[in-house]
Amino acid sequence: MILKNIKKGNIQDLNLDHLHFKVVNDPLSINLINLHSIDGIIIKNNDLKSVRQILNQLRTKNDPRIYLMPVYLESRSLFKKMGQEVDGYLMEGINSLNSSTGETIRTRIQHITNDVSIVQDYNDRMIIKTLQYAYTRSSELAPYRDRLSPIGYHFPFLSTVISDKEISKITARLEKYTAKNVLSAKVEDKVNLCHTCHSSYLNFHETCSKCSSIDLEYENLVHHFRCAYIGPESDFKHNDQLICPKCDKQLKHIGIDYDKPAEVATCNSCTHTSQETKMKARCVDCGENNSLPQLSTIAIKEYELTSEGVEWILAKNLGKDVIEAELKDLSVVPPSIYKLLIAQEKARAANKVNGSSFAAKILIDDEVFSELAEDFRSQLKEEILNIMKTYLREIDILSAKHTGEYDIMLPDSSQVEAFEIYHLLLDNLNKLLSDNIAEQDQVVTGDLRKL
Amino acid sequence: MEILSNLIPEFLNFWLESGLDKFVRVFWYFILFELTRYILLDYVVYFFKSINKKSHQKEWSVAKARLRAENPLLSIVVPGKNEGKHLFKLVKSLNEQTYQHFELIIVDDGSDDDTPIIGRNLERLGMIDLFLRNEVRGGKASAANLAVRYTKGKYIVHLDADCSFDSDAIENIVIPFYMDEEIGAVGGNVKVRNYRTSLATKLQAIEYLKTISVGRISTSYLGIYKIISGAFGAFRKDVLDQVGYWDIGPGLDGDITVKIRKSGYKTVFEPSAICLTSAPINFKILAKQRLRWNKSLVRFRIRKHADVYVPHANFKWLTFFALFENLFYNLVLDVLWWIYLVDLVLNFHDQLHYVLMMNLTLYICTGFIQILIIFLYSERKKEELYLWLFVPFMTLYNGFFLRYVRTRAYLQELFLYKSYDDPWNPVKSSRQAKLNGF
């Protein structure tokens, strides 16, 4: 009966009991509807991409009654694919439009009274909207496998409103909410992403350690105990038998006559033989040949709002909390303040009879970071800061212009003390970086001067 | 003190009164075998080499120029187990070589330490051309054979990982190939690096100088050089292909030298190709090493290559003499020494103290005469002067310690086939070697 009521055309009305729905079939229709006057949208389109575009139009609005509005599909098969992204589908004999679930959603939408537009950052705003969506649907945020998504997974609501390029970074932001106990998380999968385009569509293969060709042939080595000859299995192959090329004896029994102690790979392009092959991941989307350390790995998790999360979602001061989460590490002073402190210390040192103060500069080669995957890069940055904090005293002041340039003030220090701290920093940072970046061994430099 | 001041004139008086006949009767063993072989022969060879020095130098220069003009690829192979800690130093030592056209192949024979990590890292950094690892240990021979299987060079240089080299060692070890086309393999001059560590290493240093540096110059000059040390030796790749590489050890270095000689090629010793190795630092470890080395004399020189002593189509006098000299001066004279001791005890028991004193005097004097020729040949004269102080200890070291170890090894191998139980080889290989009589 419901299906019969849907007439052809771009936008149609559908009234059921006291509820009023609009039936749409293309993304542009959304902007032609007075969305405040309806109770839900029915999408009459079987194309996944178009449906997502319609959802994007709806979910990016600023009014919670609109962006959280119930959405239904006409197609059952598409509903199966999209799962939590919509609230049901239409079918003869089944009426999900005025079900109790739909009623709960509408009631819960009324609970959302705070204004997300005060959150400056777009991505954070979209995350909060997603959490509100999860609240109104009383469900967890369960990502589902999706070949069209660059990370291979589609998050309900979130993936519809965030660009493909940004989606890989969103997981890191969601972690902040987990840390704040707004969300609980359960790991569903881990995906590797290309370091240039963040796509998960990767083709893994072993390559020649010399010429990077993928045309490798693997062979077992065979060791003939009797005469100590050892070589690839092809040296021994003679029709269906293994005959030793050195002593012409037949090898009959593995473990008694011979064994296979290892495997070697021979490159058909450059003839190099080796047991050391390089694993590479070619990105199907952009063609980049990633080495394994270049790949960034993200955990795909199923998130659920905690009771604290529900409280937070319904609270009025959403924006403030987000800003707090963004606060920078206070132990590293900004360059402008460092400049002031140095000037003060210079003046102070000039008036002092005993004691001296020093200023050190530590420079890290930019190339160190450029080739690393983002996750690995931020880990490395954190470790650099940790090392600095370990060796600096409480009275020392650290400032960073960027990740490759650090200024350190060492007040009230003897020359020996200052020299020791400076060298400890240089040595340990060099060690850390040369452990992580094998090709270079002297990437940290700097200088130390008396104030 | 008083006893000693009386004993010395008595001792001198005794031997002056005894006359030459009695002296020869008592010291026949020394005069017949040791004086001739270890003093006279070495000095005669030194004399002839000195005469031919200029022409040899000329030949050497021509060969060196030929080598440099051809600039062949050498394959340096280093098989070993748990040698990771030596690899970086080895690579550094090889980087200093005057001859640089070589590939470096290292085979890790089932190490259970950090060797695979170190080796793979060096390979990744381009310091090693190929690092191969057998997950299951196969023994030294199979590790060396695996390395050779993947070589591309014209000549194979076999090294031990714990060695270091004079900067011209690699070049010098291949030059002889350009002096005589019949040369199939060249042995390097192995010296003891840690000679200052302990008395054991000092005595080994003197022994190496005597038996390797000088002894092998003499045997090589006479064409009866029979062992290319595993620590440093060079082989023609085509010759190795012909003889089927290394067979199961222990003693595989001596074995392959005989195989090459039997195939009709010359083997020579090159004293200027100098390699330094670490010798065992105490007598216990040394005894273990020598037991293994000496057992191989019975296993290979007597059993496996018994055909060398029998006339046949491929019989070669020089190979016969090479092995016979080895067998005679080690096994036969070792047995004879014990007979000689019995002879002394039975026939001269009342004058034994004079005999022993004279024996000691003779061997100490011989020691100094021998080290003098070492000094004449040596390129490290100043450093090796230090060892002169320890020459008197060599009488006990050679006469008793090494002789005891040798006798024990020969008996164990002759009657009990003990080398097949040596953990130096994996059981699977030793079982097959024993079964097939290798």
* Domains of chain B, each with CATH number or no CATH: 2-46+321-435 (no CATH), 69-281 (3.90.550.10)
So what's the pLDDT on residue A90? 79
**Under an 8 A CB cutoff, do B149 and A235 touch?**
yes
Does A229 share its domain with A124?
no
> For the segment B259-273, what is each residue's pLDDT rounded down to a tens digit?
999 999 999 999 999
Q: Which residues contact residue B311 at a Cβ distance below 8 angstroms, ignoring those fewer than 6 apart?
A: none
DSSP string computed for B134-194: ESS---HHHHHHHHHHT--SSEEEEE-TT-EE-TTHHHHHHGGGGT-TTEEEEEEEEEES-
Substitution target from A272, A276, A291 for chain B, most B beta carbons within 10 A: A276
Does A180 share its domain with A215?
no
A208, closest residue in chain B (CA to CA): B124
Q: Is the peptide bond before B250 cis (omega within 30 degrees of 0)?
A: yes
Classify A262 as helix, strand or coil: coil
Q: What is the C-alpha separation between B196 and B387, in angstroms, rounded?
A: 9
**Maximal C-alpha separation, chain A:** 96
Q: Does a structural domain hold residue A26?
A: yes
Regarding beta strands A202-207 and A332-333, do their DSSP bridges make them parallel or antiparallel, or are they unpaired? unpaired
* Mean pLDDT rounded to a whole number for chain A: 84
So what's the pLDDT on residue A325? 43
What is the arithmetic mean of pLDDT over A291-297?
89
> For the segment A133-190, what is each residue's pLDDT rounded down to a tens digit?
999 998 889 998 888 888 999 999 999 898 877 888 888 888 888 988 899 999 999 9
Between the alpha carbon of residue B150 and those of residues A107, A224, A271, A274, the distances in Å are 76, 17, 11, 9
So what's the pLDDT on residue A436? 65
Chain A with chain B: Cβ pairs closer than 8 A: 84
What is the arithmetic mean of pLDDT over B232-249?
95
Q: Does a structural domain hold residue A312?
A: no
Q: What is the C-alpha separation between B9 and B15, in angstroms, rounded?
A: 10
So what's the pLDDT on residue A373? 63
* Count of structural domains within chain A: 3
So what's the pLDDT on residue A321? 54
ipTM of the prediction: 0.84
- Please give the structure tokens belonging to residue B289: 């090493």
So what's the pLDDT on residue A1? 44
What are the φ and ψ backbone dihedral angles of A232, each rounded to 5 degrees? -65, 155
Q: Residue A46's pLDDT band (boundaries 50, 70, 90)?
A: confident
Range picked from A304-318, B21-35, B211-225 for highest mean pLDDT = B211-225
Q: Is the pLDDT of residue B225 over 70?
A: yes
A225, closest residue in chain B (CA to CA): B429
The A-side interface with B (CB below 8 A) comprises 209, 221, 223, 225-232, 235, 246-247, 255-257, 259, 261-262, 264, 273-276, 438
Per residue, the 3-state secondary structure of B286-324, as one string, reads HHHHHHHHHHHHHHHHHHHCHHHHCCCCCCCHHHHHHHH
Q: Is the pLDDT of residue A113 over 60?
A: yes
Does A36 share its domain with A167?
yes
Does A11 share its domain with A95?
yes
Does A68 share its domain with A154?
yes
Q: Does a structural domain hold residue A292?
A: no
> Of A8-17, A109-118, A145-154, A252-261, where does mean pLDDT reach its minimum?
A8-17
Q: What is the C-alpha separation between A2 and B315, in angstroms, rounded?
A: 108
Q: Residue B168's pLDDT band (boundaries 50, 70, 90)?
A: very high
- The domain in which residue A80 lies consists of 2-184
Q: What is the C-alpha separation between B188 and A433, in angstroms, rounded?
A: 42
What is the arithmetic mean of pLDDT over A241-250?
94
Measured N-to-C along each axis, helices B317-327 and B215-222 cross at an angle, to the nearest 10 degrees, of: 150
So what's the pLDDT on residue A399? 86
Residue ending a domain, choose from A184, A218, A248: A184
Minimum-distance CB partner of A231 among B110, B149, B436: B149
Q: Residue A326's pLDDT band (boundaries 50, 70, 90)?
A: very low
Q: Is the pLDDT of residue A22 over 50?
A: yes
Minimum-distance CB partner of A246 among B125, B244, B429: B244
A256, closest residue in chain B (CA to CA): B428
So what's the pLDDT on residue A4? 47
Regarding beta strands A202-207 and A183-193, do their DSSP bridges make them parallel or antiparallel, or are they unpaired? unpaired
DSSP string computed for A420-446: HHHHHHHHHHHHHHHHHSTT-S--EEE
* Cβ neighbourhood burial of B143 (10 Å; 0-12, 13-18, 19+): buried
Q: Global pTM?
A: 0.72
Q: Is the pLDDT of residue A125 over 50?
A: yes
So what's the pLDDT on residue B271? 95
Does A100 share its domain with A13?
yes
So what's the pLDDT on residue A438? 53
What is the arithmetic mean of pLDDT over A416-423?
88
Contacts of A261 in chain B (CB under 8 A): 110, 134-138
> Of B94-98, B222-226, B379-383, where does mean pLDDT reach its minimum?
B379-383
**Under an 8 A CB cutoff, do B132 and A247 touch?**
no
Q: Residue B12's pLDDT band (boundaries 50, 70, 90)?
A: confident
Higher pLDDT, A332 or B347: B347
Q: Is the pLDDT of residue B280 over 50?
A: yes
Q: Which residues contact residue A199 at a Cβ distance below 8 angstroms, ignoring those fewer than 6 apart?
A: A150, A151, A193, A283, A284, A285, A286
Minimum-distance CB partner of A230 among B123, B149, B244: B149
Q: Does a structural domain hold residue A308?
A: no
The B-side interface with A (CB below 8 A) comprises 110, 120, 123-125, 130-139, 141-143, 145-146, 149-150, 244-248, 428-429, 431-433, 436, 438
> For the segment B107-125, what is each residue's pLDDT rounded down to a tens digit?
999 999 999 999 999 998 8
- Please give the structure tokens belonging to residue A132: 């509100």
Q: Residue A320's pLDDT band (boundaries 50, 70, 90)?
A: low
Measured N-to-C along each axis, helices B283-296 and B199-208 cross at an angle, to the nearest 10 degrees, of: 30
The neighbouring-strand residues paired with A71 are: A41
Residue ending a domain, choose from A251, A276, A301: A276
Q: Is the pLDDT of residue A6 over 60?
A: no
Regarding beta strands A405-410 and A273-274, do their DSSP bridges make them parallel or antiparallel, or are they unpaired? unpaired
So what's the pLDDT on residue A221? 95
Range picked from A132-146, A362-376, B179-193, B346-360 for highest mean pLDDT = B179-193
Q: In the β-sheet with B164-165, what is the strand arrangement from edge to edge?
A: B130-134, B102-109, B74-80, B155-159, B232-236, B183-192, B266-277, B164-165
Are the C-beta atoms of residues A376 and A338 closer than 8 Å to each other? no
Q: Does a structural domain hold residue A120?
A: yes
Does A57 share its domain with A175?
yes
> Of A317-321, B274-278, B352-356, B367-371, where does mean pLDDT reach its minimum?
A317-321
Regarding beta strands B266-277 and B183-192, do their DSSP bridges make them parallel or antiparallel, or are they unpaired? parallel
Q: Looking at residue A362, which CATH number applies to its domain?
A: 3.30.70.270
Between the alpha carbon of residue B8 and those of residues A73, B2, B368, B395, the distances in Å are 121, 10, 21, 20
Does A119 share its domain with A8?
yes
Minimum-distance CB partner of B146 among A221, A246, A259: A221
Q: Which residues contact residue B106 at a Cβ distance below 8 angstroms, ignoring those fewer than 6 apart?
A: B77, B78, B79, B80, B87, B119, B122, B128, B130, B131, B132, B147, B161
The neighbouring-strand residues paired with A448 are: A360
So what's the pLDDT on residue A2? 45
Residues composing chain B: 438
> Of A12-16, A99-103, B22-26, B41-45, where does mean pLDDT reach its minimum?
A99-103
Q: How far is B79 from chain A (nearest CA, A)?
A: 13
| CB-CB neighbours of B388 under 10 Å | 15
Range picked from A394-403, B184-193, B420-429 for highest mean pLDDT = B184-193
Does A166 share its domain with A128?
yes
The neighbouring-strand residues paired with B75 are: B103, B156
So what's the pLDDT on residue A324? 45
Q: Does a structural domain hold residue A222?
A: yes
Q: Does a structural domain hold residue A61?
A: yes
Residue ending a domain, choose from A229, A249, A276: A276
C-alpha triplet B177, B180, B183: angle, nearest 5° = 60
**Under an 8 A CB cutoff, do B120 and A276 touch?**
yes
| CB-CB neighbours of B376 under 10 Å | 13
Q: Is the pLDDT of residue A323 over 50?
A: no
Q: Does a structural domain hold residue A138?
A: yes
Does A179 share its domain with A220?
no
Higher pLDDT, A242 or A394: A242
Q: What is the C-alpha separation between A404 and A362, in angstroms, rounded?
A: 8
What are the DSSP E strand ranges found in A17-67? 19-24, 40-43
Contacts of B431 in chain A (CB under 8 A): 225
Q: Residue B236's pLDDT band (boundaries 50, 70, 90)?
A: very high
Q: Which residues contact residue A330 at a Cβ distance below 8 angstroms, ignoring those fewer than 6 apart?
A: none
Q: What is the C-alpha separation between A437 and A431, in angstroms, rounded?
A: 10
Does A262 share its domain with A371?
no
DSSP string computed for A145-171: E-TTSTTSEE-TTHHHHS-HHHHHHHH
Q: Is the pLDDT of residue B277 over 90?
A: yes
What is the arithmetic mean of pLDDT over B212-233?
93
So what's the pLDDT on residue B159? 95
Are the C-beta atoms of residues B295 and B409 closer than 8 Å to each other? yes
Q: Nearest Cα to A119, choosing from A274, A323, A337, A398?
A: A323
Q: What is the C-alpha separation between B396 and B356, in angstroms, rounded?
A: 12
> For the segment B81-97, what is each residue's pLDDT rounded down to a tens digit?
999 999 999 999 899 99
**Under an 8 A CB cutoff, do B136 and A259 touch?**
yes
Contacts of B150 in chain A (CB under 8 A): 264, 273
Residue burial A195-205, b: 16+ Cβ < 10 Å; e: rest: bebbbbbbeee
| CB-CB neighbours of B104 under 10 Å | 24
**Under an 8 A CB cutoff, do B245 and A229 touch?**
yes
Q: Is the pLDDT of residue B22 over 50?
A: yes
Are the C-beta atoms of residues A140 and A304 closer than 8 Å to each other? yes
- Please give the structure tokens belonging to residue A98: 């005025």
Regarding beta strands B232-236 and A241-242, do their DSSP bridges make them parallel or antiparallel, or are they unpaired? unpaired
Does A257 share its domain with A363?
no
Q: Is the pLDDT of residue A132 over 70?
A: yes
Q: Residue A437's pLDDT band (boundaries 50, 70, 90)?
A: low
**Under an 8 A CB cutoff, do B136 and A209 touch?**
no
Q: Is the pLDDT of residue A393 over 90?
A: no
Higher pLDDT, A449 or B68: B68
